[in-house]
Amino acid sequence: MRLLSLLPVLLLVGLPITGLAQSVDSLPTGVTADMIAQGKTLFDGPGICTACHGTDAKGVKGLGPNLTDAEWLHDDGSYAAIRAAVEKGVPANLSKTGMVMPPRGGSQLTDEQVKAVAAYVWSLSHGAPTH
Ligand code: HEC
């Protein structure tokens, strides 16, 4: 009887807590904190992403857009969309700004490395842990 009468209270208290938990982004399926850390090294190094997106990934005028904000030129900024953009690049006919990006940024990244660098880019706008 006592428990039953407490039930509405528990529900009321429980709901906002669940809501909070969902507003913090959890890692997308297939992404690990290790991949994000590895992706940063690739982004800054062999991926040559910084050449056009800047060392802070906030973009370089005339070369590449900001990757740290919630604004996405291509698709929805999901991990899958970011991965596809890195893999295929942005050819002139799909470019939103007139600037183009070669597949994999013109780098020699492997499929695994593309996944890692995409995980890092995803983390930049989703507040996920980088280590
Ligand atoms: C030669 C310059 C260049 C290099 C190198 C480059 N990018 Fe890009 N990137 C661009 C441009 C330009 C666009 C956007 C084109 C447009 O205006 O539609 C873009 C778009 C993107 C997008 C989609 C952004 C959005 O808003 O939808 C992602 C993600 C991305 N790049 C990640 C990377 C990563 C990761 C690397 C390194 C592997 C990389 N880029 C290397 C020029 C570059």
- CA 79 – CA 6 distance, rounded (Å): 41
Angle (nearest 5°) at CA 41 between 35 and 45: 140
Q: Please report the pLDDT score of residue 3 as a whole number.
A: 58
Q: Please report the pLDDT score of residue 12 as a whole number.
A: 52
- CA 66 – CA 17 distance, rounded (Å): 33
- CA 108 – CA 123 distance, rounded (Å): 22
Task: Check if 27 has its Cβ closer than 6 Å to any atom of ligand 1.
Answer: no
Q: Is the pLDDT reported for residue 110 higher than 80?
A: yes
- CA 131 – CA 37 distance, rounded (Å): 6
Task: Check if 51 has its Cβ closer than 6 Å to any atom of ligand 1.
Answer: yes
- Looking from the CA of residue 71, the nearest atom of ligand 1 is 26
In our burial notation (b when 16+ CB lie closer than 10 A, e otherwise), range 14-34 reads: eeeeeeeeeeeeebbeebeee
Q: Is the pLDDT reported for residue 25 higher than 70?
A: no
In this predicted model, which residue has the larger pLDDT, 71 or 1?
Answer: 71
Residue in the structure block whose two tokens are 């990757």: 67
| N- to C-terminal Cα separation, the chain | 48
Task: Check if 73 has its Cβ closer than 6 Å to any atom of ligand 1.
Answer: yes
Residue in the structure block whose two tokens are 């990006």: 101
In this predicted model, which residue has the larger pLDDT, 70 or 32?
Answer: 32
Which residue has a Cα nearest atom 36 of ligand 1?
49
pLDDT digits (tens, 9 = 90+) for 88-98: 999 999 999 99
Give percent of the chain above pLDDT 70.
Answer: 78
Q: Please report the pLDDT score of residue 124 as a whole number.
A: 95
Q: How much is the CA Rg of the chain, to the nearest whole Å?
A: 19
Q: Please report the pLDDT score of residue 128 as a whole number.
A: 61
Q: Indicate the range of 1-10, 67-76, 81-90 predicted with least confidence.
A: 1-10
Task: Check if 100 has its Cβ closer than 6 Å to any atom of ligand 1.
Answer: yes
- What is the mean predicted confidence (pLDDT) over 5-9? 57
pLDDT digits (tens, 9 = 90+) for 37-80: 999 999 999 999 999 999 999 999 999 999 999 899 998 999 99
Q: Please report the pLDDT score of residue 17 as a whole number.
A: 47
